[in-house]
Chain A
Amino acid sequence: MSSRAVASANSDIACVLKLEFEFRRDAFTLRARCELHAPVTGICGPSGAGKSTLLAQVAGLLKPARGTIMFEGETLFDADAGIFVPAHRRHFGLVFQDGQLFPHLSVHANLLYGQRHLATAQRRFDLQTVLDMLEIAPLMQRRPGQLSGGERQRVALGRALLYSPRLLLLDEPLSSLDRRLKQQILPFLKRIRDETRIPMLYVTHAPEEVLALGGEIVEMEGGLLPAT
């Protein structure tokens, strides 16, 4: 596996995420220095490598100590210039390991949560398209507590998609599911890749999930991206 992702041949989606930053928390130091071009990039490594922390910086939930983060030419973070675009202005979708659906809202309200922060012109998908793509229409009136693990992840994916993100960040989206369920969700991720063409940054300790999506893999270890 290459330790550095380079422009892939099938990259018809112009996604350039340029990471060059450093982050410190207590004794842990994270150093990222790479450019990601592929439609699907997997960040793989053992737990404790700093994968989720990295994703939080890309999402804008954590602020690096120094360096820069660029996305398609736009500066999201620049320590020297004092630029920091907060999470709610980055327009990236983030799907967490256990979905993090809002427990006090119905599935329907969860799905529309991100969309209502968008102007109509920014909305790329309508509800019905996403319901069909992920086969979640029958769940609409339920509460998150009444969903199975697989259903929860599909709703979480749908919620992120309806926000029409420029980049989809996936934080171990399948790791809370058993093998059978994983096999059920993967086709949906493929569908998202093919039908929405939203670039994905996929964090996982299981490289086979990324390979199943035809993605490129960047290894991460001990807070270093790429691992050297």
Chain B
Amino acid sequence: MQLSPNELTALWLSAKIALCCMLVCLPVGVAVAWLLARHDFRGKLLLEAFVQLPMVLPPVVPGYLLLVLFGNRGLIGGFLHQHFGLQLAFNWKGAVLASATMAFPLMVQPVRLAFQMIDRRLESAAATLGANPWQVFASISLPLAIPGIVAGAILCFSRALGEFGATMAFVGNIPGETRTVPLAIYSALHQPGGEAAAARLATLSIMLAFAAMILSHVLTRRSERKLGYRLRAQA
């Protein structure tokens, strides 16, 4: 399977955007997951719904909202552009924001579940051994949630690789800047004689997604075993 330079560019761009998306979502996702798993507060239901929203909306809707908010004349985008010279619309950083918006719920869900599954008495035990709340989080809760965090990160990465609707609406389909693999497939399909390119890129997408899922399972299992959740039969 020989990829053309344009297809390679799209692949490289997809990987870069997905990786950045994962790195952005990771700390925020862990924080929000912790908040949802361990705290009761006013408006928690609203926050939950807000986090989940991108999963059930047509992706073009978040894309449109991002354009309104983060466009160069948007409420937030205008401010960023004026004061920091940061432009999001129609460049690859905007594509990271679009994928992060769409992939965020997939990061939060498994991490939240992992936090909820931790026996609270382990955290209590750590507190009665002199660990302050931050130390409890860093030495007990976070390490015990690693299988969930790994799963969330890989899901987030894979979802970002496949992002289409929100990206298209917010940052367009600019070759070399925002044309990721899904957008390249879309473009190829609209070109006469582009079927072969579309097929190559589609095959590549399937392979990448498959590899990510397998990697997620392997890593989750390995960290669960390391954490003592699964023990090989022992005498």
Q: Are A117 and B122 in contact (CB under 8 A)?
A: no
A96 touches B121 (CB 8 A): yes
Interface check A118, CB cutoff 8 A: yes
B231-A143 in contact (CB<8A): yes
B128:A117 contact, CB within 8 angstroms: no
Q: Say yes or no: A87 contacts B124, CB within 8 Å.
A: yes
| Cβ of B226 under 8 Å from chain A | yes
Q: How many A-B residue pairs have CB under 8 A?
A: 74
**CB-based contact A86/B125 at 8 Å:** no
Interface string of B122-146 (1 = CB under 8 A from A): 1011111111110110011001100
Once A117-B135, A143-B231, A146-B234 are accepted as A-B contacts, the answer to whether A86 and B127 lie under 8 Å apart by CB is: yes
| Chain A contacts for B124, CB-based, 8 A | 56, 59, 61, 87, 94, 100
| A103 vs B141: C-alpha distance when bound (angstroms) | 11
Is the beta-carbon distance between A59 and B128 smaller than 8 angstroms?
yes
Tally of contact residues, B, Cβ under 8 A: 25
A139 CA to B140 CA, complexed, in Å: 21
Chain A residues with CB under 8 Å of B126's CB are 102, 113
Point out the residues of chain A lying under 8 angstroms from B121, CB to CB: 96, 100
> What interface size band does chain A fall in?
20 to 34
B231 touches A87 (CB 8 A): no
Q: Please measure, in the bound complex, the distance between the C-alpha atom of A88 and the C-alpha atom of B139, giving whole angstroms.
A: 14
Q: Chain B's nearest CB lies how many Å from the CB of A182? A: 21
Q: In chain B, what residue has the closest Cβ to A117?
A: B130
Interface of B with A (CB < 8 Å)? 119, 121-122, 124-133, 135-136, 139-140, 143-144, 226-229, 231, 234
Known: A60-B127, A113-B131, A159-B129. 8 other contacts (CB 8 A): A60-B128, A87-B128, A94-B125, A100-B124, A102-B122, A103-B229, A104-B228, A145-B231
Q: Footprint of B on A, CB under 8 Å?
A: 56, 59-61, 86-88, 90-94, 96, 100, 102-104, 113-114, 117-118, 143-146, 159-160, 163, 169
